[in-house]
Amino acid sequence: MASRRDFFRSLSGAKDSDILKEESIDVVLRPPYALAESLFLSRCVECEDKACATFCEEEIIVIKADGTPTLNFSKRGCTFCQECAKACKSGVLSLEEGFEYINAEFKIDINGCVAHHKVICFSCKEPCIDDAILFNGMFNPVIDESRCTNCGYCFGRCPTVAISYEVVDLDGAISKLRSSIDGDG
């Protein structure tokens, strides 16, 4: 008997190879509170205890073969609990200087989303604590970029894999965040 996820996936036309496509690409998402990409590449490779991954309550921080941390949203998302930054003794993650920010932008594929095809589905909206996924009535979800924290909870919950993300340049994004704060100040 097929699972509910398999049923919805069959409606969208998604194949198992589509699901694995995201995982096979060397995508580098960094934990929140990051200061600079160069610090990951210089300090994390020397870090022996990898405490950021050990203390991650959601277990989404995984260590890549090069010794640097990345995020895996396949089952959970980030709660911004700050434990990774508190545990980081290398100064790569910082609560004082870093931002509650993950370097990704999420989007919904309207062709793959069953709610865009008049099937009632709130799988992406339910885990979104920031109410960043808005519906037009009961259908047609969109991500409100002004509310989305890029936490990743919606990604693993979509039964048709219609939610994807694009990794954005960490240093460029941090620079824009700093500029917006300096401009407001």
pLDDT along the chain (185 residues), means of 10: 57 49 57 95 94 97 96 96 97 94 96 95 95 93 95 96 95 88 66
Q: Does domain 1-24+105-170 have CATH number 3.30.70.20?
A: yes
Which tokens hold the place of 92? 């790569």
pLDDT confidence of residue 177: 87
CATH number listed for the domain at residues 30-102: 3.30.70
Query: What residue ranges do the domains of the chain occupy?
Result: 1-24+105-170, 30-102
Greatest Cα pair distance, the chain, in angstroms, is: 58
Paired tokens of 64: 């890549």
pLDDT (0 to 100) of residue 80: 97
**Would 1-24+105-170 and 30-102 be classified into the same CATH topology?**
yes
Question: For residues 47 and 68, what is the distance between their CA atoms, to the nearest angstrom?
Answer: 9
Q: How many Å apart are CA 147 and CA 145, to the nearest integer? A: 5
At residue 70, what is the residue type? Answer: T
Q: What is the pLDDT of residue 137?
A: 85
